[in-house]
């Protein structure tokens, strides 16, 4: 078959009839480490980061990687060494970031349900800021900090009611979403926060969704946030930083999101025009740093032609790649060794072995597979391994980082006994 397009993957290419990531042929990794297997490009991650760095060049800016996208320690270490901070949403993510070498002062703690134990752990670590998402959380955080003789640094996450035009499960900026404080109540809540003895208000935060492919929602949200900053500072409270969240999309299937540096040029023009360009600026990218840096390799187990559907059954499944089952998400699926071109290649649903009808990786794909062939599921660097599970008692996959011709195993494949080592039989 003809080598298919490889969206958004400058380091992924067919050469000599094989699919290569950087200077490594992917079929050699499948042979060496088995499948399913996640493989990431170091160069792709650093190039994606460099677009944000260019966009904020010359400004007082901090890029906080939203580690929920991919929290593997070596990935976090890569970004920490590149100067990034981290956007976390749990106590577990806090400990992961610290284990990977994160600077605690560059950690931002987001999320709607922080526990007292998580707050204490974050204060112990000396994180940079809590993004607070409700009035009730303000009260609890103030009490926790006051009991320690501290004042917790806080930013309020404001919900600007801007529609990012994404899947409803990954929209976060509308009134109907659980996140943030309503725009119309924000000034009153800031006034209340400033009066709480255990808090030190230092910023404002806004995050409107994920997989955003248009600049307009960002610009709309920016204007609404700056209107709030005007009103808040008219109350005599100065905000040290402005946090614009993340959410920038990637090319899964022909989407054309703006480049990060181009988006920030637009945002900075508005910030400068309104007199806020000299403030500390935070951004929390996740998917756009890692999504197109990763692929998942899988092997064809069986072919099951049918009257209505042809099924290509592979060894990767919804527990490895949850996005199609959760969001009906599209991932390009390509062979590691494409055969001769066929204009009449049949359509196949690529499915896994898990005992669920929702266990599919791609529908109606023009492929010419044979049992034993290996396929690559593209754009698998974000929200795949970090959301993977052991459903059907399936061990999680191994992970590999490619750096030029160098290959680093960064997560061993789980063994079956690992899956029940914390369980106890009855007496």
Q: How far apart are CA 252 and CA 139, in angstroms?
A: 42
Taking a C-beta distance cutoff of 8 angstroms, is the pair 57, 35 a contact?
A: no
Going by their DSSP bridges, the two strands 181-182 and 12-15 should be labelled as unpaired
Binding-site entries for substrate? 287, 323, 327, 356, 383
Binding-site entries? 247, 284-287, 323, 327, 356, 383
Peptide bond into 115 cis (omega under 30): no
Query: In angstroms, how far is CA 244 from the centroid of its own chain?
Result: 15
Q: How far apart are CA 142 and CA 155, in angstroms?
A: 13
Taking a C-beta distance cutoff of 8 angstroms, is the pair 136, 159 a contact?
A: no
Question: Which of the following is catalytic: 129, 312, 355, 384?
Answer: 355
Question: Which residues is 136 bridged to in the sheet?
Answer: none
Q: Which of 356, 367, 292, 371 is nearest to 324 (CA)?
A: 356
355 is catalytic: yes
Taking a C-beta distance cutoff of 8 angstroms, is the pair 223, 270 a contact?
A: yes
Taking a C-beta distance cutoff of 8 angstroms, is the pair 30, 377 a contact?
A: no
Taking a C-beta distance cutoff of 8 angstroms, is the pair 365, 331 a contact?
A: no
Return the residue matching tokens 């006051």. Answer: 146
Task: Tell me the DSSP string of 318-347.
Answer: TTT--HHHHH-----EEESS--S--TTPPE
Binding-site entries for pyridoxal 5'-phosphate? 247, 284-287, 383
**Which residues are catalytic, by number?**
355
């Amino acid at each position: 078959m003809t080598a298919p397009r490889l969206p958004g993957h400058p380091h992924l290419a067919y050469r000599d009839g094989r699919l290569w990531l950087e200077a490594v042929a992917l079929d050699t990794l499948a042979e060496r480490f088995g499948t399913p297997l996640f493989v990431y490009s170091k160069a792709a991650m650093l190039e994606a980061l460099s677009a944000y760095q260019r966009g904020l060049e010359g400004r007082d800016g901090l890029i906080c990687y939203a580690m929920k996208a991919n929290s593997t320690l070596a990935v976090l270490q890569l970004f920490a060494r590149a100067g990034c901070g981290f956007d976390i949403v749990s106590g577990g993510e806090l400990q992961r970031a610290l284990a990977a070498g994160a600077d605690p002062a560059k950690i931002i703690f987001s999320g709607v349900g922080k526990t007292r134990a998580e707050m204490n752990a974050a204060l112990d670590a000396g994180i940079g800021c809590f993004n607070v998402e409700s009035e009730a959380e303000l009260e609890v955080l103030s009490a926790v900090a006051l009991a320690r003789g501290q004042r917790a640094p806080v930013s309020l996450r404001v919900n600007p009611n801007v529609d990012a035009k994404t899947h409803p499960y990954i929209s976060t900026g509308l009134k109907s979403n659980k996140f943030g404080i309503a725009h119309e109540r924000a000034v009153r809540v800031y006034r209340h926060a400033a009066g709480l003895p255990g808090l030190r208000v230092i910023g404002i935060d806004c995050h409107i969704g994920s997989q955003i492919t248009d600049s307009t929602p960002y610009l709309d949200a920016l204007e609404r946030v700056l209107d709030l900053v005007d009103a808040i500072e008219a109350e005599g409270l100065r905000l040290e930083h402005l946090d614009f969240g993340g959410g920038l999309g990637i090319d899964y299937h022909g989407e054309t999101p703006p480049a990060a540096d181009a988006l920030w040029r637009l945002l900075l023009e508005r910030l400068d025009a309104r007199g806020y360009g000299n403030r500390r600026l935070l951004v929390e990218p996740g998917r756009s740093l890692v999504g197109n840096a990763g692929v998942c390799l899988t092997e064809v187990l069986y072919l099951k032609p049918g009257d209505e559907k042809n099924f290509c059954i592979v060894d990767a499944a919804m527990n490895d790649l949850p996005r199609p089952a959760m969001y009906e998400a599209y991932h390009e699926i390509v062979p590691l060794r494409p055969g001769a071109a066929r204009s009449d290649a049949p359509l196949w649903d690529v499915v896994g072995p898990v005992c669920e009808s929702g266990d599919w990786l791609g529908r109606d794909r023009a492929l010419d597979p044979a049992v034993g062939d290996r396929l690559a599921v593209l754009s698998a660097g974000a929200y795949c391994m970090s959301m993977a599970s052991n459903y059907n008692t399936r061990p999680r996959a191994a992970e590999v980082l490619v750096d030029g011709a160098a290959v680093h195993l960064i997560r061993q494949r789980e063994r079956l006994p690992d899956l029940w080592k914390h369980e106890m039989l009855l007496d």
